[in-house]
Amino acid sequence: MHISEGILPLNWALLWLGVSVPFLIYGARRLKRVAQTDLSIKPLVGLMAAVVFIISCMPVPVPIVGTCSHPCGTGIAAILLGPSISVLITGAALLIQAFFLAHGGISTWGADIVSMGVVGSFSGYCIFKTLRYFKVNLVISAFMGGIIADWATYAMTSIELASGIRGTQEFTPFFFQILVAFIPTQIPLGILEGFITSGMILMLYKKRPDILINLNVIEGTINGKNLP
């Protein structure tokens, strides 16, 4: 994630930007539609944007692939607000980081959105919802959602890098070389993100379960005795 400025050739940078734009537009429309019926959603979006921004500003450089490892924060954003709004939040956080922190790049903004925003958000959300469908414990489901959102982000980043910078090398072996380069840092960071995600969900369940019910994260009436 946070592919450095100039790493991707222009054609690949434009391709990933084109892929990201429809998701950003849909996320903006989704937020507008939800905000019309729920006035509390915009402050929560602002809070989640701050969470994503701060969590993803803790980089561990991986110089051999031109990028870095870090938690992403998209798992918790997608679980609470839905993946489409999480993409919008991620796009805003990445743009600010690229402009003011030189973290990531302007030309690679679209690729970063696709990996962290689109793939990260939707994979984490789908894992969480699938586990909840099969009545898996809320905290465990959130934990797995956080892990998968993080690891899927870096799998997609590996695809983007392998596609754009492989030159005459074959795609598959080059992809695995990049993926392996991420493993020493991203496995523990992904687990850390799982704990962060489940911890935030657990805190909300204990302190403000009404928020989780209102956001359709959990169903039914408030019951603080056992985790659903």
Can you tell me the mean pLDDT for 109-114?
96
pTM for this prediction: 0.91
Domains of the chain, first to last: 10-214 (1.10.1760.20)
Distance in angstroms (rounded) separating the CA atoms of residues 186 and 158: 12
- Please compute, for residue 121, the number of CA atoms within 13 A of its CA located in the half-sphere on the CB side: 27
* Separation of first and last alpha carbons in the chain: 34
3-state helix, strand, coil in the chain (%, to 5): 75, 5, 25
Average the pLDDT over each of 79-93, 97-111, 211-225 and give the range with the smallest value: 211-225
The pLDDT value recorded for residue 108 is 94
Query: Using 50, 70 and 90 to split pLDDT, how confident is the model at 222?
Result: low
Residues 167, 45: contact at Cβ < 8 Å? no
Distance in angstroms (rounded) separating the CA atoms of residues 107 and 95: 10
| Cα 191 to Cα 18, 151, 170, 181, distances in angstroms | 31, 9, 31, 17
